[in-house]
Amino acid sequence: MTVDRLGLEGEGIASHQGRALFIPGAFPGERVRVQPEPAGKVLRGRLEDVVVPSPARRTPPCPLADRCGGCDWMHLSPETQVEEKQRLVVDALTRIGRLPAGSFDVLPTAGRGTDTGTRRRAVLHQASQGLGYFGRRSHHPVDVDTCPALLRVLAPLPGRLAAPLLPLGSSLKAVHLLAEGESVSLALALDGPVRAKAREVAATLVRAGLAQGVVLLEPQGRVEEVGRPVLQSPAPGNAGVRLRLRPDAFAQAHATGAALLVERAVDMLAPRRDDRALELYAGNGTFTFALAARVASVLAVESSALSVALASSASRAGAVANVRWVQGEAGRVSEGLVREGVRFDVLLADPPRTGAPKLGALARNLGVRRLVYVGCDAGSLARDAGRLVESGFRPEVLQLVDLFPNTHHVEAVLAFSA
Ligand SMILES: C[S@@+](CC[C@H](N)C(=O)[O-])C[C@H]1O[C@@H](n2cnc3c(N)ncnc32)[C@H](O)[C@@H]1O
């Protein structure tokens, strides 16, 4: 097959008998040999051999790149990754979102630094020998000893944690790693109630200096903390505040790029001093405190009780007086605000991969002048952008920030005016 282009999930796409054939690991322009997979709704093929490689294909900086599901574009040169991500997002906005081509400016992609050693969080599972990541398009973990995608302090942990975690056997479902600077925190997801063995293992990890704290997670949501698992990090754009991070709550994955993302998103919102801002999907406050430093007030909405607790504690410690935190579902809270007749000047939304389908109508009913959408899934961003346009918003500027090197993932910031 000859690969024509890359799809939204990062796979190569070739044309086969008039249908799209998806080939993970193949890149545009390549001539490849493919083993077809049993036909489902979507035609897929397993890459057998690259007969004529793309000039952008490189030797990946990780020996596991062919099998590990973590970095699906590691064989692609960093420059081409950036170009392809921009093409994917712009293509999704015009094709899926039906935004007219040329109706918004596209800024040069930001955050193009080193392509390894940048991730500050990861989830590991038990593999055949120790711990590992899920394999390509599979839930079978691939054993990992060292992971070059992670920050230096985390990179050797997959191998180093295997022996101390052995006593937990199959009761250990997953290990969440998180780092801030040189500090490491872990969460161990268990398959049942926390028992003495788990507490012992967690205490051993802390004593051995492998982590400054461990969270033990029960399936029903009860947790126990051992040591000091809450890490602190300077809040982007607000020198007085330190964000609180815990490995079982959402945190931006790129160690340094998040500050750039926040700076660009808040600038693109063009807030005024006396603005009332609404922030939906606020997490632990990554954007919130930077926004609060530029406007009169922020109402920050987030569904995770843990994230709201972490953010509220950061607010209190930093004496931030103009942010109100609401724990709840973004759509329902916004509908309540519309019913109460509350109005906002600007809105910042950073939804999960599934997007925010009602955002257009809600933003219109909340009277916002300007809106910034931060999205990590090009398809959801495009669908939601289409609905925002239907609701009367005009897309103006697109800024990509490359927070996920060596993968097809990218963070996109799209600014709209009413
Ligand atoms: C992509 S994260 C962004 C978090 C935050 N803006 C940050 O950068 O740290 C999405 C956040 O939305 C929250 N979330 C998911 N679904 C939600 C919903 N329906 N309503 C409110 N928050 C939701 C998640 O808990 C998560 O914190």
Instruction: Quick: pLDDT tens for 119-132.
Output: 999 999 999 889 99
Cα separation, 143 vs 126, whole angstroms = 8
Q: Which CATH superfamily, name and number, covers 105-112+254-417? A: Vaccinia Virus protein VP39 (3.40.50.150)
Which pLDDT belongs to residue 373? 98
What single-letter amino acid sits at 263?
E
Q: Which one is predicted more confidently, 238 or 254?
A: 254
For residue 202, pLDDT over 90 is answered with yes
Mind listing the pLDDT tens digit for each residue in 320-342? 999 999 999 999 999 999 999 99
**68 is an active site residue:** no
What single-letter amino acid sits at 329?
E
pLDDT band at 313 (very low <50, low <70, confident <90, very high): very high
pLDDT band at 40 (very low <50, low <70, confident <90, very high): confident
CB 110 within 8 A of CB 264: yes
Q: Which residues contact 235 (CB under 8 A, 6 or more apart)?
A: 241, 242, 243, 285, 286, 289, 290, 314, 318
Q: What is the mean pLDDT of residues 268-292?
A: 98
With 0-12 / 13-18 / 19 or more C-beta atoms within 10 angstroms meaning exposed / middle / buried, residue 9 is middle
The conformation of residue 18, written as its DSSP 8-state character, comes to T
Ranking 55-64, 130-139, 156-165 by mean pLDDT, the lowest is 130-139
Q: Which of 129, 191, 138, 132 lies closest to 157, judged by CA? A: 132
Kindly give the distance from the C-alpha atom of residue 283 to the centroid of ligand 1, in angstroms, as a whole number: 5
Of the options 3.40.50.720, 2.40.50.1070, 3.40.630.30, 3.40.1010.10, the CATH number for the domain spanning 121-231: 2.40.50.1070
- Ligand 1 atom closest to Cα of residue 356: 19
Q: Which of 391, 387, 386, 400 lies closest to 368, judged by CA? A: 391
Which pLDDT belongs to residue 413? 98
To the nearest 10 degrees (0 to 180), the angle between helices 157-165 and 196-207 is 140
Q: Which of 245, 193, 212, 232 lies closest to 202, judged by CA? A: 212
Cα separation, 254 vs 117, whole angstroms = 9
Mind listing the pLDDT tens digit for each residue in 367-402? 999 999 999 999 999 999 999 999 999 999 999 999
Q: Which of 384, 340, 339, 336 lies closest to 360, judged by CA? A: 384
For residue 39, pLDDT over 80 is answered with no
- Residue nearest to ligand 1 atom 12, measured at CA: 281
Instruction: Select which of 68, 71, 147, 376 is catalytic.
Output: 376
**Ligand 1 neighbours (beta carbon < 6 A):** 250, 252, 281-284, 286-287, 301-304, 307, 329-330, 350, 352
Q: Backbone phi, then psi, for 131, in 5-degree steps? A: -115, 160
Integer angstrom CA distances of residue 189 from 125, 144, 174, 222 = 10, 19, 5, 11
Which pLDDT belongs to residue 138? 82
- Residue nearest to ligand 1 atom 2, measured at CA: 352
Q: Which residues contact 74 (CB under 8 A, 6 or more apart)?
A: 60, 61, 62, 65, 406
Which pLDDT belongs to residue 238? 85
The conformation of residue 20, written as its DSSP 8-state character, comes to E
Q: Which residues contact 416 (CB under 8 A, 6 or more apart)?
A: 370, 371, 372, 373, 385, 388, 393, 394, 395, 396
With 0-12 / 13-18 / 19 or more C-beta atoms within 10 angstroms meaning exposed / middle / buried, residue 358 is middle
Strand partners, 242: 234
What DSSP letter does each residue of 350-414 carry, written as one string?
---TT--TTHHHHHHHTT-SEEEEEES-HHHHHHHHHHHHHTT-EEEEEEEE--STTSS--EEEE
For residue 96, pLDDT over 80 is answered with yes
Kindly give the distance from the C-alpha atom of residue 352 to the centroid of ligand 1, in angstroms, as a whole number: 6
The first and second tokens of residue 395, run together, are 């897309």
What count of other Cβ atoms lies within 10 Å of the Cβ of residue 222?
10
For residue 112, pLDDT over 80 is answered with no
What count of other Cβ atoms lies within 10 Å of the Cβ of residue 219?
11
Kindly give the distance from the C-alpha atom of residue 348 to the centroid of ligand 1, in angstroms, as a whole number: 12
- Residue nearest to ligand 1 atom 18, measured at CA: 329
For residue 351, pLDDT over 80 is answered with yes
Which pLDDT belongs to residue 310? 98
pLDDT band at 139 (very low <50, low <70, confident <90, very high): confident
Q: What is the mean pLDDT of residues 36-43?
A: 84
pTM of the model: 0.96
- Please name the fold of domain 1-57: OB fold (Dihydrolipoamide Acetyltransferase, E2P) (2.40.50)
Scanning the structure block, which residue is given the tokens 């991969």?
353
Q: What is the mean pLDDT of residues 237-256?
A: 94
Which pLDDT belongs to residue 137? 78
Q: Matching CATH topology for 1-57 and 121-231?
A: yes
Which pLDDT belongs to residue 143? 95
Cα separation, 126 vs 170, whole angstroms = 8
The first and second tokens of residue 49, run together, are 């051999």
- Residue nearest to ligand 1 atom 5, measured at CA: 283
Q: Where are the domains of the chain?
A: 1-57, 105-112+254-417, 121-231
Q: What is the mean pLDDT of residues 269-297?
A: 98
The whole-chain average pLDDT of the chain stands at 96
